[in-house]
Amino acid sequence: MEKIDKLYEQLENFQMVLYRMGNEGFDYCFKHYSSFEEVEDEKFHSLRESYIKISEELEEYVKSKIIEIQDEIQEEQWL
Protein backbone atom coordinates (compact mmCIF):
# COMPACT_ATOMS: atom_id res chain seq x y z
CA MET A 1 0.00 0.00 0.00
CA GLU A 2 1.35 3.40 -0.92
CA LYS A 3 1.88 6.02 1.75
CA ILE A 4 -0.90 8.25 0.41
CA ASP A 5 -3.34 5.32 0.51
CA LYS A 6 -2.37 4.59 4.10
CA LEU A 7 -2.89 8.25 5.04
CA TYR A 8 -6.35 8.27 3.47
CA GLU A 9 -7.20 5.07 5.35
CA GLN A 10 -6.06 6.61 8.66
CA LEU A 11 -8.07 9.75 7.93
CA GLU A 12 -11.17 7.70 7.15
CA ASN A 13 -10.76 5.68 10.35
CA PHE A 14 -10.50 8.78 12.55
CA GLN A 15 -13.41 10.44 10.75
CA MET A 16 -15.44 7.30 11.44
CA VAL A 17 -14.49 7.44 15.15
CA LEU A 18 -15.53 11.10 15.33
CA TYR A 19 -18.81 10.30 13.61
CA ARG A 20 -19.51 7.44 16.04
CA MET A 21 -18.66 9.64 19.02
CA GLY A 22 -21.32 12.11 17.91
CA ASN A 23 -23.86 9.63 16.62
CA GLU A 24 -23.66 6.91 19.28
CA GLY A 25 -22.63 9.10 22.20
CA PHE A 26 -19.16 9.23 23.69
CA ASP A 27 -19.69 6.63 26.41
CA TYR A 28 -21.49 4.07 24.24
CA CYS A 29 -19.03 4.63 21.42
CA PHE A 30 -15.99 3.58 23.43
CA LYS A 31 -17.46 1.19 25.97
CA HIS A 32 -19.92 -0.77 23.83
CA TYR A 33 -19.89 0.09 20.14
CA SER A 34 -16.40 -0.95 19.07
CA SER A 35 -12.81 -1.44 20.13
CA PHE A 36 -11.79 0.24 16.86
CA GLU A 37 -9.14 -2.34 16.01
CA GLU A 38 -8.89 -0.87 12.52
CA VAL A 39 -7.40 2.30 14.01
CA GLU A 40 -3.67 1.70 14.07
CA ASP A 41 -2.63 4.29 16.63
CA GLU A 42 -1.14 3.40 20.00
CA LYS A 43 -1.99 6.69 21.70
CA PHE A 44 -5.61 6.46 20.56
CA HIS A 45 -5.97 3.00 22.09
CA SER A 46 -4.17 4.02 25.26
CA LEU A 47 -6.50 7.00 25.69
CA ARG A 48 -9.55 4.89 24.83
CA GLU A 49 -8.61 2.30 27.44
CA SER A 50 -7.90 5.04 30.02
CA TYR A 51 -11.30 6.60 29.30
CA ILE A 52 -13.06 3.28 29.83
CA LYS A 53 -11.21 2.67 33.11
CA ILE A 54 -11.87 6.17 34.46
CA SER A 55 -15.52 6.18 33.39
CA GLU A 56 -16.07 2.86 35.15
CA GLU A 57 -14.36 4.16 38.28
CA LEU A 58 -16.53 7.29 38.22
CA GLU A 59 -19.70 5.25 37.76
CA GLU A 60 -18.79 3.01 40.71
CA TYR A 61 -17.99 6.04 42.86
CA VAL A 62 -21.34 7.66 42.10
CA LYS A 63 -23.17 4.42 42.92
CA SER A 64 -21.27 4.05 46.20
CA LYS A 65 -22.07 7.66 47.16
CA ILE A 66 -25.76 7.04 46.54
CA ILE A 67 -25.69 4.05 48.88
CA GLU A 68 -23.68 5.98 51.46
CA ILE A 69 -26.09 8.93 51.43
CA GLN A 70 -29.14 6.66 51.53
CA ASP A 71 -27.66 4.93 54.59
CA GLU A 72 -27.06 8.31 56.26
CA ILE A 73 -30.64 9.35 55.56
CA GLN A 74 -31.94 6.15 57.14
CA GLU A 75 -29.74 6.67 60.20
CA GLU A 76 -31.00 10.25 60.59
CA GLN A 77 -34.61 9.12 60.35
CA TRP A 78 -34.11 6.69 63.25
CA LEU A 79 -32.66 9.32 65.56
Query: By C-alpha distance, which of 37, 18, 40 is closest to 29?
Result: 18
pLDDT value of position 31? 93
Task: State the number of CA atoms in the 13 A half-sphere of 42 facing the CB.
Answer: 0
Number of domains in the chain: 1
Split at pLDDT 50, 70, 90, the class of 6 is very high
Task: Note down the domain range covering 11.
Answer: 3-77
What is the average pLDDT score of the chain? 95
Question: Model confidence over 26-42: pLDDT tens digits?
Answer: 999 999 999 999 999 99
Split at pLDDT 50, 70, 90, the class of 53 is very high
Q: Is the pLDDT confidence value at 1 over 80?
A: no
50 alpha-carbon distance from chain centroid: 8
